[in-house]
């Protein structure tokens, strides 16, 4: 079994920062992949599947997070998360979407 490790830095671009809906999208996306993801802001690290832990980071617009993934889908999940962050959690769409769609 191949266990890949990958890291990526993302910037929160939406004005509301990471709020409940955004944290839920992150956790749902991570759960759909075969990888463990940890989000890091400064010295605080949280599990990417735990909505409350993600919210506890208190991440605002313009702040950066380091995403660390380990597992078979490490690269794939980080790519999907980067798209989610780049798309500002679909805030501009006026719709609720999953990160995959």
Q: With 0-12 CB in 10 A as exposed, 13-18 as middle and 19+ as buried, what is 81?
A: buried
Whether residue 69 is contained in a domain is answered as yes
CA distance 75 to 73: 6
pTM of the complete model? 0.87
Domain count for the chain, please give it. Answer: 1
Whether residue 34 is contained in a domain is answered as yes
Domain extent for 55: 4-91
Whether residue 21 is contained in a domain is answered as yes
pLDDT, tens digit, for every residue of 13-72? 999 999 999 999 999 999 999 999 999 999 999 999 999 999 999 999 999 999 999 999
Q: Could you give the dihedral angle defined by the CA atoms of residues 29, 60, 10 and 88, in that order, rounded to the nearest 10 degrees?
A: 60
Is the per-residue pLDDT at 75 higher than 90? Answer: yes
Whether residue 9 is contained in a domain is answered as yes
CA distance 15 to 21: 13
Residue 24 in tokens: 């839920």
CATH of the domain at 59: 3.30.1340.10
Instruction: Give the pLDDT of residue 87.
Output: 94
Whether residue 22 is contained in a domain is answered as yes
Instruction: Give the pLDDT of residue 98.
Output: 45
Element housing 75 (H / E): helix 74-86
């Amino acid at each position: 079994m191949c266990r890949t490790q990958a890291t990526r830095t993302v910037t929160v671009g939406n004005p509301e920062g990471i709020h409940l809906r955004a944290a839920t999208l992150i956790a749902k996306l991570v759960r759909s992949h075969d990888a463990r993801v940890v989000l890091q802001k400064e010295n605080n690290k949280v599990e990417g599947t735990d909505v409350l832990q993600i919210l506890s980071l208190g991440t605002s617009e313009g702040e950066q997070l380091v995403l660390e993934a380990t597992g078979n889908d490490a690269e794939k999940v980080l790519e999907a998360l980067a798209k989610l962050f780049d798309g500002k959690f679909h805030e501009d769409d006026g719709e609720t979407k999953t990160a995959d769609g």
